[in-house]
Structure 1
Amino acid sequence: MTQRRSLLAAGAALAAGGLAAPALGQALAKSSFGPTTTDISTGHAAHSSLPRALGYWREEGLDVEVFGIAGNTAGLQLITNNNIDFISISGDQILMARNQGMAIKAVYMHARQPINRIVVPKAGGVTSIAQLKGKTLGIPVLGPQPYATAAFQEAGLDIEKDIRQVATGTGAPALLALRRGDIAGWISWDTAVAALENRGMEFTELRPSFFGDLFGNAIITREALLRENPALVVKMCRAIAKSVHFGLTNPEAAIRIHWQLYPQTRPQGGDPAQVMAEAKRVFLSRFSSYALEGVTKYGESLPSQWARLKQQMVAANELPADHDLNAAFDGSFIDRINEFDRDAVAAQARSWNG
């Protein structure tokens, strides 16, 4: 009932905000999208709450089910077994999956800068990755970390030999480990770091020199779906692109819409202004990477970013030198994905009063 009430509230807010509701009785094609996390925070609004509540998927003739997936491995299993149509996943995971023979392909560049973070408590005085030699670092889940591996390599360190990694999870367990000094730093992702900042942590982020050359994640699907239903790719991603534009125009409106569909993500109690400020920190930690920087079209991919990623992975022995990058991304849908009125979407966002 909670989910139904939130959807009804979102529909009422949609009408109050002056947005056109989808036509009743319209035959909708079913599809599915999965963020590779079960914590669908406000930072994930562009591919969860916004295209649903604002009717963007419905306008494309889609009925999209969104559900969180516990990690990249599970996401890849679901998509290759035809159990989900689209997921968002990091670039290194895309290249590794293709190298393992998985018939998947990226169709939309989502986060245009790395979502990974290497952070240390500001009070500790650490200002460089090199200073972490011999230290214990936390990580939500133990596993390959191409970004961190390359960052430590640039600093002259071997992440497997020169530091100790322990699994901390996210949220309260990671916060406790940092405050007790069990770990000297944390290797995580943007929204998780922002959530700990909201709980009082002050961090120094340690970035490698190549941070600006990489990207964060992309939306992928099966190659079979690309062949059999290319229109679905355009419809799915155009609604997401419109949601990104809406969110960047009016973050507070996007956050309130997300809370309506995912009420468990709204903090309980507290000063409303402070609650919104903290929500915006999490929201913008991810949405800022969706902004058009160096490109003019949502979802557009820069070949140099893929090339830098490949170089990094080859150096870490995670990818063969002859890996074919051209097979990883299909940019043929981008022009059609961007066929929408940005000014109209921005006007909707600015006038939102739900």
Structure 2
Amino acid sequence: MAVVPSGRTGRGAVAGAVLGALLAASAGCGGDAGADGRSLTKVTYRGPFVAGGGDAPLYYADELGYFEEEGLDVEIRDSKGSAQTVTDVANGGSDFGMAAATNLIMSIGRGQPVVGAATYLGRSSFGFFVPKDAGITSIKDLRGRSIAVSALVEQNMYAALAAAGLAKSDVKAVVADANALVTTYVSGKADAMYTVQYFLPRTSRRPSEVLLQSAAGFNPPDYVLVVAKKTLRDRPQLVRAFARATLRGFQAAAKDPGAAVEALTAEHPELDPKQSRGVLEAVLRFRCAPAQSGRPYGENAPADWTSTVTALKRTAGLRGPADARRYFDNGLFENGGGLGTGTC
């Protein structure tokens, strides 16, 4: 499986796919020295997609020195989707990753030795894109319609439809490659599209609105920190350090999204800053779900994980255990009073 570095690492960065792979293999070894002369621990992180506005908090955390404060030198890598990220972390290709909770749950159900250690985005951003002039005002109105969806999340879509009272047979799925999904919808090859709300700026040629699945009562945690169970068991302080730095990055980006986008585009000048900011601001609105209200930012909401596992067992063929706590771990928050990253 190809590893595609994003070109950005921590302050002691080195570039190159081959060298990046060597670093991944030696994660935990001493890295370059930080500003105070301490040796930094090299770790690798794989995001959920190709670098974009939603990744700005990670780059901003680096720019603000949060990783260095934790003694970390982080290499940030791209991904072609959550499934690739989960598999990479499970196989030891990367130390940490960010992936959709539904993909993580299904992967654990297939035996992947990983777990969700924190929740970056607790309110589900997945929903159904519909043209503004289509007269579709609720998910129930999708009965008899065609829906563009990627194969990776097709089963999740059926769980969302079921929450709204629709069966799989009530719609026609138009399965498209993840990279061609928006094009398929915008070109009119499907009446609707199921994906994350963050893609809304990319549908300007077909003005749309998003019917969020959370409005129908289906709220899987959106994007979570993925780590191998062995790493969490054997190196909890390393996981704590990475989680704290990245969660602080999200909180800082919420306070100054413009600065966060500048940190991103400094390393990815090919990205449109205006579009990246639009995506980032959309992402940040999903940081906390109602079930996390008043709880430490990043703590997993057991109720949302439980309802998600139940739904995926009913509609998506989840083969894993019914106990939701087999899919997430709140140890980082239960031990030592949390991570000091604020509250929801």
TM over 0.5: yes
Over the matched positions of the two proteins, sequence identity in percent amounts to 21
Matches within 5 A, 1:287-298: 287-291=284-288, 294-298=293-297
The structural deviation recorded for 1:53 is 1.6
**Which one of 146, 162, 167 corresponds to residue 158 of structure 1?**
167
Task: Flag the structure with more relative contact order, 1 or 2, with Cα contacts below 8 A and sequence separation at least 6.
Answer: 1
- The letter of the residue matching 1:42 is G
Deviation per residue, 1:165-209 (Å, 9 max, x gap): 231645xx555544442211111112222333xx35421222344
The answer for the alignment partner of 2:49 in structure 1 is 37
The answer for the alignment partner of 1:324 in structure 2 is 323
| Structure 1 gap segments, 5+ residues each | 9-20, 268-274, 343-354
Deviation per residue, 1:270-327 (Å, 9 max, x gap): xxxxx3xx44321111112125851331211121111111121122152258522222
**Which one of 239, 259, 264 corresponds to residue 270 of structure 2?**
264
* Cα separation, 2, equivalents of 1:299 and 1:114: 14
CA RMSD across the alignment: 2.9
- The letter of the residue matching 1:216 is D
Q: Does 1:113 align with 2:120?
A: no
The answer for the alignment partner of 1:72 in structure 2 is 82
The structural deviation recorded for 1:232 is 0.6
Taking a change above 3 Å as real, the CA distance of residues 288 and 134 of structure 1, as seen in their structure-2 partners, is same
**Which one of 120, 123, 148 corresponds to residue 133 of structure 2?**
123
2:123 aligned counterpart, secondary structure: coil
Higher normalized strand content (fraction of residues):
2
The answer for the alignment partner of 1:90 in structure 2 is 100
Q: Does 1:101 align with 2:111?
A: yes
Q: Does 1:192 align with 2:203?
A: no
2:328 aligned counterpart, secondary structure: coil
The structural deviation recorded for 1:160 is 5.3
| Structure 2 gap segments, 5+ residues each | 1-5, 13-32
Q: Is the 8 A contact 1:136 1:163 kept in 2?
A: yes
The answer for the alignment partner of 1:207 in structure 2 is 212
Taking a change above 3 Å as real, the CA distance of residues 297 and 148 of structure 1, as seen in their structure-2 partners, is same
Taking a change above 3 Å as real, the CA distance of residues 321 and 227 of structure 1, as seen in their structure-2 partners, is closer
* Cα separation, 1, equivalents of 2:320 and 2:339: 37
The answer for the alignment partner of 1:16 in structure 2 is none
TM-score by length of 2: 0.80
Say which is worse superposed, 24-33 or 106-115, in terms of deviation.
24-33
Larger Rg: 1
Q: Is the 8 A contact 2:218 2:308 kept in 1?
A: no
TM-score by length of 1: 0.78
2:284 aligned counterpart, secondary structure: helix
Deviation per residue, 1:111-130 (Å, 9 max, x gap): 11112121101022222223
2:152 aligned counterpart, secondary structure: coil
* Cα separation, 1, equivalents of 2:123 and 2:67: 26
Taking a change above 3 Å as real, the CA distance of residues 248 and 337 of structure 1, as seen in their structure-2 partners, is farther
* Cα separation, 2, equivalents of 1:106 and 1:341: 17
The answer for the alignment partner of 2:256 in structure 1 is 250
The answer for the alignment partner of 2:190 in structure 1 is 183
The structural deviation recorded for 1:3 is 5.6
